A and B are shown apart, each in its own frame.
Chain A
Amino acid sequence: MAALGSPLRTLRGLLRELRHASARAGRPYRDTPAYQHVMAAFRAHRVTSEKLCRAQQELHFQAATYLCLLRSVREHLALHHEYHGKGERSPREVAGLVGFRLPQQPGGKGWDP
């Protein structure tokens, strides 16, 4: 069984991602079916003693997987916005991507009027 850490941590992460997702659509996240489903599932499968509960483990794995999905999609989208699909870059931006700066000529270039 994979090491997943504490379920509460997973739940917090999930709620954070759901908040991000519904902020994109501009509505309160507590009204979304996803929030209600996640909360209901976590409440229903709370264990009070330290027994190993296979069903809870399975649910926790599912929650962690969903968290990974939401987080990766958000990060992927952010990177996509940053670097892709914007057409051709200016020479200055291209130089910046690989850590260079275009040379500066204090008095203007020779052929400039």
Chain B
Amino acid sequence: MNDLVTRGRATRASTPPRPPSVLIRSGNWGGNNLALTALFLFLPPERKRFYQNVSISQGEGGFEINLDHRKLKTPQAKLFTVPSEALAIAVATEWDSQKDTIKFYTMHLTTLCNTALDNPTQRNKVQLICAAVKFLETDTICYRVEEPPALAELQKNEWDPIVAWAENRYNVAIGSSTSITGPNIPASTKDTFISHLASYNMWALQGIEYVITQLKSLILSMGLIDRHITVEKAVLLSRLEEEYQIQRWGSVEWAHDYDLCELRARAAAGTLFVHLCSESSTVKHKLLQD
């Protein structure tokens, strides 16, 4: 562990001094994960662009990113390799479009790949699926309001078609509720989603869970993954109440628009990540059709 930390620090000699290295090493922070998390908490959100050229090379484990002559590594110092070339190109574009400073908060695809490679929460496939399906109990679009009547009607008009689509597509019962405890989701519905999600690989699942936590809705996320709705539409539906309030009270650029752009970027990154990571089957599909 200490090795890793020192190595990490050595390569980052150019960054401004970070405070509590003592804290990181003393072990007060618990296990390895916490110490690493602490290490990255203290990293500045931006650092100087230390490379000129970004290129892609094909290695044994997949596609790798090269910054000048160095290979890109994950925060846990693993080699950064991705399974699909398109994903590698998108990640390389993220790195190449950084001007002067590297802004990590704009590099959503890189972040997702890092999460998939390092798996910082150490969860396995079953745990990931359970976490995703748990969102169904508190799914945004199943919680309805009774007043104001205009908002209640808006929710009914906008959300009902998506719920109906999901019920049809997966042949399950979902429903909606105005009570604080939420709708009663039958166990068979959960089982259906669990077995459906099990057909995705680990990488895609990380992406799916990311989209779900961003949109706060399993149903909207599945609509995105199944290409039933666009990212813009999914984000709009996820923020329906906020949009209603904006229409009534006005929009504040530095809060509402800022959130909107960030949520769109995150949802789009997650969706693209899932599609690119589960693509091999799609490509086969295309060949069969030709």
Contact = CB atoms under 8 A, between A and B. Distances in A.
Contacts of B258: 76, 79-80, 83-84
Contact of B56 (A1, A33, A55, A62): A33
Contacts of A24: 97-99
B166 to A, nearest CB: 14
Given A65-B272, A69-B268, A37 B261 contact: no
Contacts of B90: 34, 66
Q: Which of A18, A27, A72, A80 has the most CB of B within 10 A?
A: A72
Interface residues of A, number: 39
Interface in B80-133: 85-86, 89-90, 92-93, 96-99, 103, 105-106, 108-109
A34 B90 CA distance: 7
B97 A75 contact: no
B285 interface: yes
B261 to A, nearest CB: 4
Query: Main SS of chain B's interface residues?
Result: helix
Nearest to A83: B254
Interface of B: 56, 85-86, 89-90, 92-93, 96-99, 103, 105-106, 108-109, 227-233, 253-254, 257-258, 261-262, 264-265, 268-269, 271-272, 275-276, 282, 285-286, 289
Given A33-B92, A79-B254, A80-B258, 19 more contacts: A2-B230, A3-B230, A32-B96, A33-B89, A34-B92, A37-B89, A54-B285, A61-B230, A66-B268, A68-B268, A69-B264, A72-B264, A73-B108, A75-B261, A76-B265, A79-B257, A83-B253, A83-B254, A97-B254
